[in-house]
């Protein structure tokens, strides 16, 4: 059903107005047939694959869709060495006579699953323009994509779909299936899907196959059906990591270890878990226990060097330590408030006294004048002098 509902043009596309709205970068690129490689970074079910298809169609290019979970170097070689039409790699999208000869768009889903050697293999073909690469990832590409490849791609950040956008997708789905759904069921489904259109569509389809009516009760029963549980790369994956972080935040060490065990047992990448522990150490523990970041980094390094199965012991020890630490989000909250002011006010004038004065002219212009190393006066721009981002504990 999700494939049946997949838009084929920007006019049908839902969400991501900051990228595909009038005058926005991807709409301009598609309308003007600008050819370049890019990475789509965002949560699941927000239209990354669809956007890649629309872009390839706009170029009139051959479109190949591979998943980095299962794809190999040989799969890419087959695409590059002549479009083997008898294989499973036959173009998924071909504009026919209007296509531009030799233009190939390779969509690599979950590009973060490609290891360094596989990404190195892609690099020269992206660099010389043999293929136009569109990578899709739910992970921060700064951590997961090698620098040489990342430097040759633009990165576009996709956002979760909003409530109205999700409601529109739900209503379109039930209309195609010719079924009815009440307001309570729509509200429950939108809240459960949390901005993931594919999840909402799949839930409606599965519920329709199991029950006569799509209601809140039948949707809940469908979600609990074991044979319909999402795999570790889908919704269950994100629910579990969310529960894991929230358990550590609540200092519930037993729950944190339980969710850790679920992830490890499902074969989750230990670096995925450890990376979130590193973020958690600064974001949620912060100044309460500054050494938490040292411990989290040590766990990450251990997972890098040891790997499964032994590194699960490093993860367990680190999780217990972080969960039991006192929590203090003041540094994180202070930074986010400062960042909000940066975005709101732009580049405010830096006070002269804290400017660098490496030349005689700068000194004559009073750069650095009045600066006291241990003074009590605010160093913030004039407009923000009364601001106190970092709150002392009362």
Does residue 21 carry a pLDDT above 60?
yes
Residue 176 is predicted with a pLDDT of 84
CB 238 within 8 A of CB 43: yes
Please provide residue 136's backbone torsions phi and psi, each rounded to the nearest 5 degrees: -125, 135
Residue with tokens 């990450």: 300
Residue 16 is predicted with a pLDDT of 84
Most confident residue range from 29-33, 183-187, 322-326: 322-326
Neighbours of 367 (CB within 10 A): 18
Residue 101 is predicted with a pLDDT of 44
Residue with tokens 């160093």: 379
Same CATH fold, 163-228 and 17-157?
A: no
Does residue 322 carry a pLDDT above 80?
yes
Is 247-324 in CATH node 3.40.50.2300? no
By mean pLDDT, which of 66-75, 99-108, 113-122, 182-191 is the weakest?
99-108
Instruction: Tell me the three state secondary structure of residue 31.
Output: helix
- Which band of pLDDT confidence, cut at 50, 70 and 90, is reported for residue 84? very low
Average pLDDT over the chain reads 84
pLDDT, tens digit (0-9, with 9 covering 90-100), for 224-271: 653 334 344 455 677 788 899 999 999 999 999 999 998 888 778 899
pLDDT, tens digit (0-9, with 9 covering 90-100), for 193-215: 777 888 888 888 888 888 878 88
Q: Which residues, in sequence order, are CB contacts of 76 under 8 Å at separation 6+?
A: 66, 106, 121, 122, 125
**Which class does domain 17-157 fall in?**
alpha beta
Helices (H) and strands (E) in the chain, counts: 18, 5
Second CATH level (architecture) for the domain 163-228: Orthogonal Bundle (1.10)
Interval 370-390 mean pLDDT:
89
pLDDT, tens digit (0-9, with 9 covering 90-100), for 136-145: 988 888 877 8
- Which band of pLDDT confidence, cut at 50, 70 and 90, is reported for residue 116? confident
pLDDT, tens digit (0-9, with 9 covering 90-100), for 36-80: 999 998 888 888 888 999 998 888 888 888 888 888 888 888 887
Residue 227 is predicted with a pLDDT of 37
Residue 67 is predicted with a pLDDT of 87
The two tokens of residue 12 are: 């049908």
Residue 336 is predicted with a pLDDT of 92
Helices (H), 145-266: 147-150, 163-177, 183-193, 197-210, 216-224, 235-249, 253-265
The two tokens of residue 364 are: 């004559």
Does residue 127 carry a pLDDT above 90?
no
The two tokens of residue 350 are: 């830096």
Residue with tokens 């030799």: 102
Give me the residue spans of the domains in the chain: 17-157, 163-228, 247-324, 345-384
- The Cα 231–Cα 97 span in angstroms is 40
Higher pLDDT, 293 or 84: 293
Residue 212 is predicted with a pLDDT of 79
pLDDT, tens digit (0-9, with 9 covering 90-100), for 343-360: 899 889 999 998 988 888
């Amino acid at each position: 059903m999700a494939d049946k509902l997949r838009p084929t043009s920007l006019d049908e596309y839902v969400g991501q107005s900051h990228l595909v709205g009038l005058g926005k970068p991807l709409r301009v690129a598609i309308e003007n047939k600008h050819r370049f490689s890019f990475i789509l970074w965002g949560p699941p079910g927000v239209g990354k694959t669809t956007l890649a298809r629309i872009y390839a169609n706009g170029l009139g290019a051959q479109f190949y869709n591979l998943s980095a979970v299962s794809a190999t170097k040989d799969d890419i070689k087959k695409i590059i060495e002549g479009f083997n039409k008898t294989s499973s790699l036959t173009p998924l999208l071909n504009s026919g006579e209007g296509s531009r000869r030799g233009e190939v768009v390779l969509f690599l889903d979950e590009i973060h699953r490609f290891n360094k050697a596989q990404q190195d293999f892609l690099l020269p073909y992206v660099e010389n323009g043999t293929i136009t690469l569109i990578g899709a990832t739910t992970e921060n590409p700064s951590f997961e994509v090698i620098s040489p490849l990342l430097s040759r791609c633009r990165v576009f950040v996709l956002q979760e779909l909003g409530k109205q956008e999700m409601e529109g997708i739900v209503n379109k789905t039930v209309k195609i299936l010719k079924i009815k759904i009440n307001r309570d069921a729509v509200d429950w489904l939108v809240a459960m899907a949390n901005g993931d259109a594919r999840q909402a569509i799949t839930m409606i389809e599965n519920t329709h196959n199991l029950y006569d009516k799509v209601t809140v009760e039948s949707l809940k029963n469908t979600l609990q059906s074991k044979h319909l549980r999402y795999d570790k790369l889908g919704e269950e994956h994100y629910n579990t990591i969310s529960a894991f972080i929230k358990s550590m935040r609540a200092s519930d060490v037993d729950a944190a270890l339980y969710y850790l065990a679920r992830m490890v047992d499902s074969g989750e990448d230990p670096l995925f878990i450890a990376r979130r522990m590193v973020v958690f150490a600064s974001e949620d523990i912060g100044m309460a226990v500054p050494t938490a970041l040292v411990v989290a980094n040590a766990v990450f390094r251990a997972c890098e060097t040891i790997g499964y199965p032994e590194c699960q012991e490093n993860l367990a020890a680190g999780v217990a330590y972080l969960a039991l630490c006192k929590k203090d989000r003041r540094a994180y909250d202070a930074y986010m408030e400062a960042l909000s002011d940066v975005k709101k006010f732009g580049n405010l004038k830096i006070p002269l006294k804290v400017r660098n004065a490496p030349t005689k002219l700068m000194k004559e212009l009073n750069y650095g004048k009045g600066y006291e190393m241990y003074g009590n006066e605010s160093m913030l721009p004039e407009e923000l002098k009364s601001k106190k981002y970092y709150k002392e504990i009362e």
